[in-house]
Structure 1
Amino acid sequence: MASPGSSGTTRTNPFAGPDPVIIRDLTILGRVPVILDHLTSTYYAWKTYFSLVFREYNLRDHIDGSVDSRFMEDDEEWMTIDATLIRWFYTTISKDLFQTVVSAENDAHAVWTKLNGLFTDNALQRKVFFHSEFFGCQQHDSSVDDYWMRLKKLVDELCDLGEKVSDELLLSNLIAG
């Protein structure tokens, strides 16, 4: 096992999961540079950044439901990583979302599922909201870059809900706004 200050690892088991020390010491805000909030369109970016971290560090089994954490309670390394993921989620969401999902009994899968559910369970209402935002979006005093990014975030949110927005429609809305 690598010591907290070492850069290498002495793990020799090819079937072992990720090193808990590396996962624990990872600065998540450097990997997930957005805060998930109901009031802003950050869900798509937040989920994408976390999906990349899960793939990069082989952590998917903690959030995809393929492993039941009740059977892992005796595996100290697995439980350490699971607790770290929960901490990551809590530090990358707004205070309101934290109050909505926090529970001492949750594992990482439960927190991930709750957070994703808040943004996808009421898909029809969210689609209507994002369509309205997209077609009503105006540039006003913002720069073209800021306006483009706002439209792009709305398109990403719609895509995450299964709504395809063509490049032509995006460009048309950019010009009209």
Structure 2
Amino acid sequence: MEFHPTFAVSNIKNHIPIVLEMEKDQYGTWAELFRIHALSHRVLHHIVPSTEKPPPALTDTEHEQWTTLDATVLQWIYSTISTDLLTTIMEPNSTALEAWNQLEGIFQDNQNARVVALEQEFSNTRMEDFPNVSAYCQRLKMLS
């Protein structure tokens, strides 16, 4: 099996410093950091399937490497999400793509309710509740 850049990652949290949590609105940031990391390590196809023609049949060695890489990407996902999300999406013999799609579904399903809640929170955010203008602006930016 040839060396793959994915095998050089010893701690995914050095590259993706966010722990994805259900209660926080950070899915977009987490997903983008994860996509960039996967792209830079040549494993993006494990979470974003190619729309091009299907790949040729894999040899046993290639299939073994694909399975190992997929398990590594799956470990990255599991290592960067909260325990609540982990217990929600973890299933035996799951692939990285299945876990990725489950997370996307969880956060997309909550999107409309989340928009209403964020709009209300944005409207109720007052400058006097913050120590300075910078903190106030940062909060508004996070909500927008």
Q: Decide which of 127, 130, 136 is 1:147's aligned counterpart.
A: 136
Give 1:141 shift.
4.1
Deviation at 1:137, TM superposition (A): 2.5
Gaps of 5+ in 2: none
- Identify the residue that residue 14 of structure 2 maps to in structure 1: 30
**Which portions of structure 1, spanning 4 or more consecutive aligned residues, are displaced by more than 4 angstroms?**
71-74
* Alpha-carbon spacing, 1:150–1:104, altered in 2? closer, same or farther (3 Å): farther
> Which of 68, 92, 104 is equivalent to 2:80?
92
SS at match of 1:34: coil
Instruction: State the match for 1:59 in structure 2.
Output: 43
- Superposition pairs for residues 137-176 of structure 1, below 5 Å? 137-139=125-127, 140-155=129-144
TM-score by length of structure 1 reads: 0.66
Distance, in Å, in 1 between the alignment partners of 2:59 and 2:140 is 45
**Structure 1 pair 73–79 and aligned structure 2 pair: CA distance change class (3 A):** farther
Residue pair 1:42, 1:153 contacting (<8 A) in 2 also: no
Aligned partner of 2:95 among 107, 121, 143: 107
Deviations 1:144-166 (A, max 9, x none): 433333322222xxxxxxxxxxx
Shift of 1:142: 4.3
Question: Distance between the aligned counterparts of 2:122 and 2:89, measured in 1?
Answer: 28
- Given the two structures, how large is their TM-score scaled by the length of structure 2? 0.80
RMSD: 2.4
Is the Cα contact below 8 Å between 1:63 and 1:109 reproduced in 2?
Answer: yes
1:122-152 CA-partner distances (Å, limit 9, x unpaired): 3321211221222222452444433333322
Mapped pair 1:116 → 2:92: no
* Alpha-carbon distance in 2 for matches of 1:40, 1:122: 12
Instruction: Tell me by how many angstroms 1:72 deviates.
Output: 6.5
Identity %: 30
CA distance in 2, matches of 1:37, 1:73: 39
Per-residue displacement from partner, 1:13-59 (whole Å, max 9, x unpaired)?
xxxxxx1xx31331211111111001122212111111211221222
CA distance, structure 2, for counterparts of residue 73 and residue 92 of structure 1: 32
**Is residue 64 of structure 2 the alignment partner of residue 76 of structure 1?**
yes
Unaligned runs of 5+ in 1: 3-18, 156-177
Shift of 1:65: 3.1
